[in-house]
């Protein structure tokens, strides 16, 4: 099944958040390269996903976490209540900029837009950090999302 980029990226963020061991320098560099590709050409998703999956699959613990998160996201078909998602204020507080350059997110007035680039932008921000596996642990929305995913689903 071809996954939407937002599902793949959310599964990656959850997998990184649950990772108990630090990523190696090569893994960090590969994830940063992925972030650069996402930033420069997010429409080339198939190519980007191929490289991303190579990084995930090379780390057994990350791969296990990713597969578990992906399966949970697939069960709800990516339909995530907006209250489980992050706000701009949360991101600014929980993931302060390492450099002081301004960042543009896909936020507009009101509730987060599921179809905007918020998840993409957040993923790029996390993957370009010196220690993405530590930075992602600061994101409280992932705890809310995991809590939602762990609840029995009724269809």
pLDDT in tens, 100-119: 454 444 444 445 444 558 88
Do the domain assignments include residue 117?
A: yes
Tally the domains of the chain.
Answer: 1
Do the domain assignments include residue 155?
A: no
| Residue where the block lists tokens 């190519």 | 47
pLDDT given for residue 151 in this prediction: 74
Do the domain assignments include residue 38?
A: yes
Do the domain assignments include residue 81?
A: yes
Cβ contact 51:33 at 8 Å: yes
How far is it, in rounded angstroms, from Cα 87 to Cα 141? Answer: 9
pLDDT given for residue 116 in this prediction: 56
pLDDT given for residue 114 in this prediction: 44
Do the domain assignments include residue 32?
A: yes
Do the domain assignments include residue 71?
A: yes
Task: Tell me which residue range forms the domain holding 113.
Answer: 5-150
Do the domain assignments include residue 37?
A: yes
**Which residue from 105, 132, 129 is spatially nearest to 116, judged by alpha carbons?**
105
pLDDT exceeds 60 at position 65: yes
pLDDT given for residue 113 in this prediction: 45
Do the domain assignments include residue 75?
A: yes
Mean pLDDT of 122-151: 88
Cβ contact 84:145 at 8 Å: yes
Contacts for 147-152 with beta carbons within 8 Å, 24 or more apart? Answer: 148/80, 148/81, 148/84, 149/69, 149/72, 149/73, 149/75, 149/76, 150/72
Helix (H) or strand (E) holding 32: helix 25-40
pTM: 0.80
pLDDT exceeds 70 at position 148: yes
């Amino acid at each position: 099944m071809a996954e939407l980029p937002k599902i793949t990226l959310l599964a990656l963020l959850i997998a990184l958040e649950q990772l108990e061991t630090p990523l190696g320098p090569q893994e960090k560099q590969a994830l940063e390269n992925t972030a650069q590709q996402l930033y420069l050409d997010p429409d080339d998703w198939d190519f980007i996903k191929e490289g991303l999956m190579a990084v995930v699959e090379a780390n057994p613990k990350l791969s296990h976490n990713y597969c578990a998160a992906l399966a949970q996201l697939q069960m709800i078909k990516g339909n995530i209540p907006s209250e489980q998602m992050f706000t701009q204020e949360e991101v600014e507080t929980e993931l302060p900029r390492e450099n002081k350059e301004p960042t543009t997110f896909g936020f507009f007035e009101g509730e987060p837009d599921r179809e905007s680039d918020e998840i993409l932008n957040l993923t790029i921000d996390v993957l370009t950090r010196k220690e993405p596996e530590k930075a992602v642990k600061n994101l409280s929305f992932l705890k809310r999302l995991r809590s939602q995913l762990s609840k029995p689903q009724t269809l």
